């Protein structure tokens, strides 16, 4: 719930780009984690809070760059009894106490360097958040990909370029300029929402388990269709070749559908989160802009400070975001989740929470930077304003404990 870019997770809320996690809250770029909250870029960790770049850790609080540690607090080892005493004194169920803790841990994170690239088990790759991949160039949030370039949020793919989302099960191969394509697709171009073994498809939308389609939409288990009309195999190939020749003359062949065709406003789409533009910049490109509702000036209802004192009746009440002034509400499922984890309910609307998570991640663009500790140069996704300290992979090793 209230999350973006998830794969194979259970019972997680307010997370972004996590894989195979369970009972996690406010986690970003984590994999195989259980019962973690407010953690980033960590793998195989459990029952921990405020971790960053940690692997194989459990029962840790406020730690960065640790490997296989237990009962560590602020990057210092403790006995189990000391850890439990400290954890018991931290009442994350209280909004006031949790806000105070967040400030302290965020100051700790800000002082720590980021590695030039967040990646695990990769070869000859660039971009960020890459796992188990080789020759993944300028890729973001990809896993199990090979020979891919300019792809994001893609798993299980080979020889793909300019693909956004999703791949997932089975291998997906030879995709070009696609969005939301996966589950065993092959040779798909300039298309969106194609899955279920789709092959040899171009300029199509929302077609499933189909082959040999051109300019079609909403088809299931079809083949040799152009503009949704059924042709013989020979007729299909002959007409398709003529249309491509015409599109080459008009300059339309070889490009994805223009952004001006999108029914969505730029500032309500993922593009607006990943590559923010001002209203004037959006309108100048001929794109749509969604005006925001007027902020609410006064509070409508007040939540008790502590989740332990929050009654069932709080679910569904209209609340006002402390930052944006937008109205929002807590769902019953959310209230139960926060009770289970003993974490205070959010005082920000889901959109503001998402905006803050985006502000923490590296956005998909390569920047040339110099290591903060030595003279090495490298391309990195971490921009100098949000992430002032970035070190090369060699220097990063000395920060890992």
Let me know: does 220 contact 210? Beta carbons within 8 Å: yes
Closest CA to 96 of 309, 336, 316: 309
Cα separation, 76 vs 190, in Å, equals: 52
Q: Which is nearer to Zn ion, 99 or 393 (CB)?
A: 393
CB of 29 to Zn ion, least distance (A): 22
In whole angstroms, the minimum distance from the beta carbon of 28 to Zn ion comes to 25
Q: How far is the CB of 373 from Zn ion (least distance, A)?
A: 5
Tell me phi and psi for residue 102, to 5 degrees.
-60, -45
Tokens standing for residue 168: 């997932």
> Cβ of residue 363: shortest distance to Zn ion, in angstroms?
23
Task: Identify the helix (H) or strand (E) that includes residue 149.
Answer: strand 139-167
Whether the Cβ atoms of residue 255 and residue 190 lie closer than 8 Å to each other: yes
Q: Which is nearer to Zn ion, 13 or 392 (CB)?
A: 392
Report d(CA 174, CA 316) in Å as an integer: 46
User: Nearer Cβ to Zn ion, position 114 or 183?
Assistant: 114
CB of 245 to Zn ion, least distance (A): 53
CB closer to Zn ion out of 220 and 394:
394
Residues 6+ apart with CB under 8 A from 200: 186, 187, 188, 211, 212, 213
Q: Is 120 exposed, middle or buried, given 0-12, 13-18 or 19+ CB atoms closer than 10 A?
A: middle
Q: Which is nearer to Zn ion, 188 or 390 (CB)?
A: 390
For the CB of residue 104, give the shortest distance to Zn ion in the complex, in Å.
Answer: 28
Nearest distance, CB of residue 41 and Zn ion, angstroms: 19
Q: Where do contacts with Zn ion occur on this chain (CB under 5 A)?
A: 371, 373-374, 376, 392, 395
What 3-state class would DSSP assign to 312?
Answer: helix
CB of 380 to Zn ion, least distance (A): 12
Q: Is residue 352 classed as helix, strand or coil in its secondary structure?
A: helix
Half-sphere exposure of 292 (CA within 13 A, CB side): 12
Whose Cβ is closer to Zn ion: residue 140's or residue 378's? 378
Q: Which is nearer to Zn ion, 54 or 371 (CB)?
A: 371
Interatomic CA distance for residues 333 and 316, integer angstroms: 10
Question: Considering beta carbons, is residue 149 or 367 the nearer one to Zn ion?
Answer: 367
């Amino acid at each position: 719930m209230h999350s973006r870019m998830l794969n194979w997770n259970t019972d997680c809320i307010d997370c972004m780009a996590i894989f195979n996690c369970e009972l996690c809250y406010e986690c970003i770029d984590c994999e195989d984690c259980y019962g973690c909250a407010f953690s980033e870029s960590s793998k195989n960790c459990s029952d921990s809070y405020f971790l960053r770049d940690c692997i194989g850790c459990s029962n840790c609080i406020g730690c960065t760059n640790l490997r296989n540690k237990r009962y560590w607090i602020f990057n210092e080892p403790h006995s189990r009894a000391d850890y439990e005493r400290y954890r018991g004194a931290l009442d994350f169920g209280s909004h006031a106490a949790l806000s105070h803790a967040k400030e302290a841990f965020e100051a700790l994170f800000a002082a720590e360097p980021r590695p030039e690239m967040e990646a695990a088990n990769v070869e000859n790759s660039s971009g960020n958040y890459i796992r188990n991949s080789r020759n993944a160039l300028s890729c973001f949030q990809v896993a199990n990909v090979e020979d891919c370039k300019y792809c994001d949020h893609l798993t299980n793919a080979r020889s793909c370029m300019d693909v956004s989302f999703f791949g997932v099960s089975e291998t997906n191969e030879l995709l070009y300029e696609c969005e939301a394509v996966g589950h065993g697709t092959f040779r798909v171009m300039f298309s969106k929402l194609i899955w279920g073994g789709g092959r040899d498809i171009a300029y199509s939308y929302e077609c499933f388990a189909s082959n040999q389609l051109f300019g079609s939409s909403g088809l299931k288990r079809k083949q040799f269709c152009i503009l949704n009309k059924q042709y013989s195999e020979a007729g299909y190939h002959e007409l398709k070749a003529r249309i491509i020749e015409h599109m080459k003359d008009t300059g339309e062949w070889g490009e994805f559908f223009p952004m001006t065709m999108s029914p969505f406003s730029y500032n309500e789409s993922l593009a607006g989160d990943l590559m923010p533009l001002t209203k004037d910049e959006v309108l100048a490109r001929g794109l749509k802009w969604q005006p925001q509702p007027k902020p609410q000036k006064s509070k409508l209802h007040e939540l008790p400070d502590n989740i332990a004192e929050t009654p069932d009746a709080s679910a569904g009440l209209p609340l006002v975001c402390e930052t944006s002034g937008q109205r929002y509400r807590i769902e019953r499922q959310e209230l139960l989740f926060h009770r289970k984890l003993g974490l205070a309910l959010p005082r920000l609307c889901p959109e503001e929470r998402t905006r803050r998570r985006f502000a923490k991640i590296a956005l998909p663009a390569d920047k040339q930077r110099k290591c903060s500790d030595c003279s090495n140069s490298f391309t990195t996704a971490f921009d100098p304003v949000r992430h002032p300290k970035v070190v090369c992979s060699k220097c990063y090793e000395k920060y890992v404990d």
